[in-house]
DNA sequence: ACCGTTTTGGTAAGCGCTTTCCTAAGGAGC
DNA sequence: GCTCCTTAGGAAAGCGCTTACCAAAACGGT
């Protein structure tokens, strides 16, 4: 028993036909093979348990059926939901997804992007949050540009900082809408728990909220862009003791952290303090009090990105704006 | 400007050396290249923006740096956490992960497994929950066996139904432990919300709980293995109106659904009814009431699977048992 | 000065496919 | 019966690499 898989050559030999015929019979081609031979080849392939070698096919055909997906953290429900959408769309197209998780580290992001490039996939989707760092953006471009130059396709799901097709969430506007609704509900003194300043998502959500807010400028507390960041930011906010009747955390995970911090401090949500989040993570839809948030079509965004990246390339990068929908729930009752 | 990436041949030409020398200089080899030539090649590669073609390398070397990961649903936090662990371990090894999400459909699983096989990755990790279906298991084996025969490696994270290295969660025992704790806390009439009977995880958790329970056999209500399943099962349980003081949902998502159903029906958790889950999904650690559950080292399990699958193959499939840890929280207060 | 070892660069044979060309055979048309 | 198409199989040239294998040069020892 050979420790190697059957090759097309083996199949051809077994069927008593030429390599070319075997190829034509098995792996779709416009050329027709006589029915009898066709059957013989199929049978031989079956007998040998032949599976085409996709790598060799890509080489020979000059086109691969792999697409790369680069996310900040696949364990984060935001990204895993996007990934699910993209993966299901990819599957429909007969494509395979190569997944990379950067951990939010720009250096890592570059390295993984390079790895993805090496694989010569058909396309790469960048779903990491963009960081406002010119040097890093330039380095990204240095990877992305030649890949595109060589016929690869790239799309992003993020703030539109790279000159590629981008699914861009209108964070600012959604946050503005949220601020307006919060105001309408009768709140007067909001605080914003935000992520690091370099993170564009975080910044835009914060700024959007501030824009939409008509009263005094909200207090802003920054920390990490995750659950613990929300927890810590909330603690600091409480400790610094300003009067606040409502807290907007720039994502649902931070909001959960914030609510946990409230619990620790004996603050009851929403009686003593209202809380709102952003993203509408599905896993969190059943928490109590139900979280006011901004719903994003995450699955759809994954699909859209794949669709864009497979479309015929156009000279000018497309932008596809996605609007978030404010969902008011119990965590911000009318005052 | 050519619409194709620079190849090693281009680099060799540019540097005025042979293809072999360029290869040796750029892509690690035991053969040494004189410093001067080495520098010249590096420079040329740089000038041309050369990126090795990983597919071609795999072909030539006869070994790839891709590993496949097959999960039920990457949007499910259970799997996305495992994926995160596996991805980070893969990254450390310089491997790339190909991700497939089956949606729990066995047919899909087979198809995606075939796709993964075609890619001739170094290894494949099956993280889907095993279904108790001989025919399907046989079909899986028909894909797995030849892949292994041909030098591929396969591991699973699931119930040990396939003859491959497996990370197996001791679901039965953990559920038993949980049942014991629930009993100790003073509960007398538990119900179990379980998934479909074919799903082994679900069955083992249910059976384990029953084993550990010393009183009358718990009522069992089956539905889907997800949030909505928990919701529906809970509704049915309530409507059928038996006396129950505690509900064990076989995973956290079902538990969340169950709690939501309780809320709908005006049942207060944990005052009127206690609820426990399984998995300890990190996103849900801050819900109120805090959920009693069984903690699983999901990230670690992903890493373990990769480690196993990269280890030297041994004749006998290894089993690496993982124990869950019962975490009692507010949702099951002592009575 | 000579022979046996190291270096170290190059040549060419693959890896498993697809696809272009070529050629032989069969059919149509007159 | 002959030419002109059409059809279908096969030979072989790649795709972009790695890696035997070979050969030339440099080196060491005597």
Query: What does each C-alpha distance from A61 to A119, B1, B8, B50, B277 come to in angstroms?
Result: 15, 21, 19, 21, 50
Residue in chain A closest to B262 (alpha carbons) equals A286
Token pair 């590096």 is at which residue?
A: B42
Name the protein residue, with chain letter, whose CA is nearest the C1' of D10. Answer: A18
Nearest to A85 by CA among A277, A307, A253, A281: A307
pLDDT below 50 — which residues of chain B? 1
Mutation target to probe the B interface, by most B beta carbons within 10 A, among A2, A3, A27, A51 is A51
Q: Residue A9, class by beta-carbon neighbours within 10 Å (0-12 exposed, 13-18 middle, 19+ buried)?
A: exposed
Which residues sit opposite B222 in a β-bridge? B194
Find out whether A9 and A41 touch, Cβ atoms under 8 Å. Answer: no
Find out whether A195 and A130 touch, Cβ atoms under 8 Å. Answer: no
Strand B274-276, strand B246-249: pairing: parallel
Tokens of A303: 């699909």
Structure confidence by residue, pLDDT tens digits, A235-267: 999 998 778 999 999 999 999 999 999 999 999
A28 touches chain B (CB under 8 A): no
Find out whether A209 and A177 touch, Cβ atoms under 8 Å. Answer: no
Nearest to A115 by CA among B46, B87, B113: B87
Tokens of A26: 């098995």
Residue in chain B closest to A226 (alpha carbons) equals B283
| pLDDT score, position B335 | 86
**Which residues fall within 8 angstroms of residue B171, CB to CB, at 6 or more apart?**
B159, B201, B204, B205, B208, B278, B324
Find out whether B271 and B241 touch, Cβ atoms under 8 Å. Answer: no
| pLDDT score, position B315 | 82
Beta strands in B132-189 (DSSP E): 153-157, 165-169
| pLDDT score, position B295 | 98
| A246: three-class secondary structure by DSSP | strand
- Proximity of residue B20 CB to strand D below 7 A: yes
| pLDDT score, position B1 | 45
Cβ <8 Å between A150 and B4: yes
Query: What does each C-alpha distance from B282 to A185, B146, B291 come to in angstroms?
Result: 32, 38, 11
Beta strands in B6-163 (DSSP E): 66-71, 96-101, 123-126, 153-157
Name the pTM for this structure: 0.95
**Which residues fall within 8 angstroms of residue A63, CB to CB, at 6 or more apart?**
A122
Tokens of A15: 């069927």
| Chain B residues near residue A95 by CB distance under 8 angstroms | none
Q: d(Cα A302, Cα A307) in Å, to the nearest integer?
A: 9
| Chain A residues near residue B259 by CB distance under 8 angstroms | 286, 288
Token pair 């949902």 is at which residue?
A: B249
Q: d(Cα A231, Cα A195) in Å, to the nearest integer?
A: 12
Cβ <8 Å between B281 and A284: no
Q: Which of A23-37, A144-158, A245-259, B132-146 has the lowest mean pLDDT?
A: A23-37
Gap from B55 CA to chain A (nearest CA, Å): 6
Reported as a pLDDT band with limits 50, 70 and 90, residue A2 is low
Cβ <8 Å between A74 and B84: yes
| pLDDT score, position B66 | 97
| B319: three-class secondary structure by DSSP | strand
Q: d(Cα A278, Cα A291) in Å, to the nearest integer?
A: 9
- Proximity of residue B120 CB to strand D below 7 A: no
Nearest to B101 among A52, A88, A112 (CB): A88
| A308: three-class secondary structure by DSSP | helix
- Proximity of residue A57 CB to strand D below 7 A: no
Which residues sit opposite B258 in a β-bridge? none
Reported as a pLDDT band with limits 50, 70 and 90, residue A203 is very high
Nearest to A124 by CA among A104, A105, A148, A102: A148
Reported as a pLDDT band with limits 50, 70 and 90, residue A1 is very low
Cβ <8 Å between B55 and A74: no
Structure confidence by residue, pLDDT tens digits, B128-148: 878 889 999 999 999 999 999
Tell me the H-state helices in A69-170: 77-92, 106-118, 134-149
Instruction: Indicate if the alpha-carbon torsion angle B190, B195, B201, B203 is positive or negative.
Output: positive
Nearest to A96 by CA among B100, B24, B80: B100
> Dmax over Cα atoms in chain A, in whole Å?
85
The nucleotide whose C1' lies nearest the CA of B37 is C9
For residues B305, B310, B316 and B319, what is the CA-based torsion angle, rounded to 10 degrees?
-20
Nearest to A77 among B66, B101, B283 (CB): B283
| A283: three-class secondary structure by DSSP | helix
Nearest to B55 among A1, A58, A87 (CB): A58
Find out whether B216 and B189 touch, Cβ atoms under 8 Å. Answer: yes
Q: d(Cα A250, Cα A129) in Å, to the nearest integer?
A: 13
- Proximity of residue A20 CB to strand C below 7 A: yes
Nucleotides of C under 7 A from a protein CB: 7-20
Gap from B267 CA to chain A (nearest CA, Å): 14
Name the protein residue, with chain letter, whose CA is nearest the C1' of D18. Answer: B60
* Number of Cβ atoms within 10 Å of the Cβ of B39: 13
Main-chain phi, psi angles of B4, to 5 degrees: -145, 155
The nucleotide whose C1' lies nearest the CA of B28 is D18
Question: Domains in chain A, ordered, with CATH?
Answer: 8-52 (1.10.260.40), 64-169+298-323 (3.40.50.2300), 171-297 (3.40.50.2300)
**Which residues fall within 8 angstroms of residue B34, CB to CB, at 6 or more apart?**
none
Average per-residue pLDDT for chain A: 94
Nearest to A77 by CA among A265, A296, A258: A296
């Amino acid at each position: 028993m050979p420790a190697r898989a059957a090759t097309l050559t083996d199949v051809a030999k077994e069927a008593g036909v030429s390599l070319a015929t075997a190829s034509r019979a098995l792996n779709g081609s416009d050329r027709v093979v006589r029915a009898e031979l066709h059957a013989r080849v199929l049978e031989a392939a079956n007998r040998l348990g032949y599976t085409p070698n996709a790598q060799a096919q890509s080489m020979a055909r000059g086109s691969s059926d792999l697409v790369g997906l680069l996310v900040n953290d696949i364990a984060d429900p935001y990204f895993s939901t996007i990934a699910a959408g993209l993966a299901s769309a990819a599957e429909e197209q007969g494509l395979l997804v190569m997944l990379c998780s950067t951990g939010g580290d720009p250096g890592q992001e570059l390295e993984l992007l390079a790895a993805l490039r090496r694989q010569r996939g058909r396309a790469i989707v960048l779903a990491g949050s963009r960081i406002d760092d010119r040097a890093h953006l330039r380095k990204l471009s240095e990877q992305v540009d030649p890949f595109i130059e060589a016929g690869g396709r790239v799309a992003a799901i993020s703030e539109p900082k790279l000159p590629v097709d981008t699914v861009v969430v209108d964070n600012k506007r959604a946050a503005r809408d949220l601020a307006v609704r919060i105001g309408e509900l009768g709140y007067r003194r909001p605080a914003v728990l935000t992520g690091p300043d370099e993170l564009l998502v975080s910044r835009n959500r914060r700024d959007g909220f501030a824009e939409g807010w008509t009263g005094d400028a909200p207090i802003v507390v920054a920390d990490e862009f995750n659950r613990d960041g929300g927890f810590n930011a909330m603690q600091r906010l409480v400790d610094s003791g300003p009067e606040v009747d409502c807290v907007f955390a720039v994502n649902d995970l931070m909001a959960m952290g914030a609510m946990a911090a409230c619990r620790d401090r004996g603050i009851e949500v929403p009686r003593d303090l209202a809380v709102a989040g952003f993203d509408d993570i599905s896993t969190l839809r059943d928490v109590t009090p139900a979280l006011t948030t901004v719903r994003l079509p995450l699955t759809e965004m994954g699909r859209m990105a794949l669709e864009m990246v497979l479309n015929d390339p156009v000279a000018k990068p497309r932008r596809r704006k996605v609007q978030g929908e404010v969902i008011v729930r119990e965590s911000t009752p009318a005052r």
